[in-house]
Structure 1
Amino acid sequence: MAKNSKERKLDAKLIQVYEKHGLDMFVDVCAEMLNIRDPHDWEKKKKVNGEVCECVIRVMTEDYLRRRGIKGSVFHSLVLKNLSNPKSDFRTELDFTLLTPYFCVTAECKSFVGQITVTGDCVLQRDNLTADVGRQTKVHVNALRPYLEKYALPNKGVVTPPLFPVCFLYSNGTLQDKRGGQQRSAIPILTIGNLFRYYDVLTGKCSREVYDVKAASKAFQAMADSRVLHIQHANYVGY
């Protein structure tokens, strides 16, 4: 969902911490925010946690790209249409998308607290709270892949341009992943502790340029900034 003014201010303040004091201080401040409790307004607290979670993966990713000298673009709240059916009212929103010349990563971001269990393709559960990240990820991948194919470079010998879906979990609780190896590989659970290692693996195995990042980034940023698309998405999901 597009940010409101309070969310934009929170984003700006957190990014300012990063720019002035560096990544370690930024991560510490975000962790302190996650630990703040607001028993009188739990819905507000959940929204704040979610916004902090999405800010963390964006800032950490941009820091990684800068430190490694990798060309790439990061997008937040990217709303996609159904390219195969232009008349469809379908809209879906991606929490986080990273596009480099070599691969694309899309993440569903979750900020659950407490004891978290992962089952199935990628179902997160804490007490009576459940999030079927696997189901949502399939929707996102099916919507995103036609856009990536549109901006794939020709004659690169790559049948399917690399797209890696993940779940980014920002939590102060415990995690028990009960899934098998195949399901874990299909949708890995990433945290601040293993995000950079995951990117290292991708940059190590994806060395061929397959995306026109300049053209794709221009189009993706326009979609991420589109107020019309965000309103259409809100109407589609019934916000």
Structure 2
Amino acid sequence: TRNRFLHWTSHGDTLEVVEESLDTNLLNNAIRLKILNCSILPGGVHVCETHSNVIVMIVTNQTVHRLVLPHPSRMYRSEIISDNQMQSIFTDLGKMNYKNPSNSYVIPAQPGRAQSSNASTAWLSSEGEALFAFPSSSGGILVVKMPHFDEDGPVTTVELKQTSVMKLLTGWMPTVIRGDHGPAHLPVSLAVHCLEHDALIFALCQDHKLRMWSY
């Protein structure tokens, strides 16, 4: 299972992903997905690897999606595989429904996604939840959380607001800036760094400032 990697391209509503190996030929190693009436964001494909699975997370202009694929090490544990029998992790993808409500979600109109920004990021929590983040239309960061794929539960959203600090006579008091940002505050790129049970979301904005949110 070593020396295997994914590469992908997207255009409009179509995502093409290929799994390659430096050691052997893989069967059924290319897929093409169409997400109708949506446009996949530039940089909107994110891949996370666990011991048991490879998770592909997709952000479009209207939706988010999760593909749960088997990890190669789990596919061949008890089998003898020859070079011409090596299957790709995409082999059984046709049996999956990526539009299943547990793995697909329509971004709510309020607060909604900032249409003038294509920035996004996605990651897995320590509990295996899939999280997607992108700028909201009201100036914050909208986070969509899907429960672990083996668990039942609703998809939830939360909007992270940027805070400032005002000095009052009684001391320092944080206040929330509610959507009064100009275009200069709009993130052009997002990145996430997970630290124990916290996720730090970094945004590079049009005003050349780096802003951070904690989730």
- Higher relative contact order, chain-length normalized (CA < 8 Å, sep 6+): 1
| Structure with the larger strand share | 2
> What TM-score do the two structures reach when normalised by structure 2?
0.31
> What TM-score do the two structures reach when normalised by structure 1?
0.29
| Structure with the larger helix share | 1
* Largest Rg, 1 or 2: 2
